[in-house]
Amino acid sequence: MRINEMFSESRPVLSFEIFPPKRDGDVLGVHHTIDVLAELKPDYISVTYGAAGSERGMDTVRMASRIKREHGIEALAHLTSIGVTKKEIDEILDIYRSEGIENILALRGDLEVNAVPKASDFKYAADLIAHVKQNGHFGIGAACYPEGHIHARSKTTDLIYLRDKVQKGVDFLVTQLFFDTDLFYAFRNEVRSLDIEVPITVGVMPVLNRKQIERMVALSGASLPDKFKKILEKYEHNPVALQDAGIAYACDQIVDLLSTGVDGIHLYVMNKPEVAKRIVSNISGIMSSSQHRKTP
């Protein structure tokens, strides 16, 4: 099923994001994560992609295929285009298709620190999106950034490029994580004022430890509201308390977001299914009684 069809129902779409095992990593651990997440009956589960490497792409394929075939849950396979040729992308698209994957999150990706840039047929995600659209077999999602992409020249240019990306064939958008919901509302208003009408599902990341959040903030440039900083300072040396507070903060964000009728909630669960379980049990009643703007 194409994920964009899910947004035509009146309730918000619930999804989780996981990452595949690192090479020689804990495959069974990721299988367990998928098993537990599947019990929570999300609309779909997305699987991240290691930029610049078709072998790493195979880990994404294996996990996405497992989600779909063993659990009957729709999978969203991420795909990045930095340092990749059209031929390599076509090979991976063929594999996705043969594994029954129908939905792709099309991204530019980032070069690893100190990596030597490789020849690429795609400069921006928009180029990959146009190519996947031409292929014709996939529903297409793309990333968006409520606070602007960390390397964007300005928020305004970032929005113009977002519109360009959507016009190339995007069916729905998934946001970068953020901790200040007001910034998302302002972003959504700007997006809609540019006549970008595709559904926007909102990425929420529960904070589980200080190191994780510092890394994510360095990568994304997300701003931290005072309330959030106080939680980090107060509980940073007490992992159990910080996890409880992080889950409570994420739930608070979700309740706020649902009350304004967001199209979907995408939980960055960091392969911690127990955390997803706690969040879902806190918000399930609210999710099922919430309505969102139906796709036009």
Q: Which of 3, 6, 34, 126 binds ligand FAD (CB under 6 A)?
A: 126
Terminal C-alpha separation, the chain: 19
> Cα–Cα distance between 252 and 266 in angstroms, integer?
15
155-167 vs 125-135: helix crossing angle, rounded to 10: 10
Span 185-204, contacts to ligand FAD by CB under 6 A: 203
- Of 183, 221, 215, 218, which is closest to residue 202 (Cα–Cα)? 183
- By 3-state DSSP, what share of the chain in percent is helix, strand and coil, each rounded to 5? 50, 15, 35
Question: Residue 161 has which token pair?
Answer: 């490029």
Binding mask 80-109 for ligand FAD (x = CB under 6 A): x--------------------------xxx
List the catalytic residue out of 5, 17, 88, 233.
17
Q: Which amino acid is at 157?
A: T
> Cα–Cα distance between 75 and 2 in angstroms, integer?
10
Least distance between ligand FAD and beta carbon 81 (Å): 8
Which residues, including other chains, have CB under 8 Å from residue 130's CB and lie 6 or more apart? 168, 169
Q: Which of 110, 180, 244, 256 binds ligand FAD (CB under 6 A)?
A: 110
Q: Which of 86, 124, 293, 295 binds ligand FAD (CB under 6 A)?
A: 124
Sign of the alpha-carbon torsion through 155, 19, 57, 92? negative
Binding part of the chain for ligand FAD, among 20-28, 123-131, 222-230, 281-289 by CB under 6 A, reads 123-131
Binding part of the chain for ligand FAD, among 84-92, 96-104, 119-127, 190-198 by CB under 6 A, reads 119-127
17 annotated active-site: yes
Binding mask 141-170 for ligand FAD (x = CB under 6 A): --x-----x-xx----xx--x---x-----
Q: Which is nearer to ligand FAD, 87 or 151 (CB)?
A: 151
| # of chain residues touching ligand FAD (CB under 6 A) | 23
Q: 175: part of which helix (H) or strand (E)?
A: strand 172-175
Report the alpha-carbon angle 93-99-101, nearest 5. Answer: 65
Q: Which is nearer to ligand FAD, 146 or 273 (CB)?
A: 146
Q: Which is nearer to ligand FAD, 194 or 241 (CB)?
A: 194
Which residues, including other chains, have CB under 8 Å from residue 196's CB and lie 6 or more apart? 162, 163, 166
Q: Which is nearer to ligand FAD, 180 or 236 (CB)?
A: 180
Q: Which is nearer to ligand FAD, 165 or 292 (CB)?
A: 165
Binding part of the chain for ligand FAD, among 25-33, 48-56, 273-281, 285-293 by CB under 6 A, reads 48-56
Q: How far is CA 223 from its chain centroid?
A: 18
Q: Which is nearer to ligand FAD, 68 or 165 (CB)?
A: 165
Binding part of the chain for ligand FAD, among 91-99, 121-129, 229-237, 275-283 by CB under 6 A, reads 121-129
DSSP string, 112-134: PTTPPPPP-S-SSHHHHHHHHHH
Binding residues for ligand FAD (CB under 6 A) = 48-49, 51, 78, 80, 107-110, 124-126, 143, 149, 151-152, 157-158, 161, 165, 174, 176, 203
Report, as residue numbers or ranges, the catalytic residues: 17
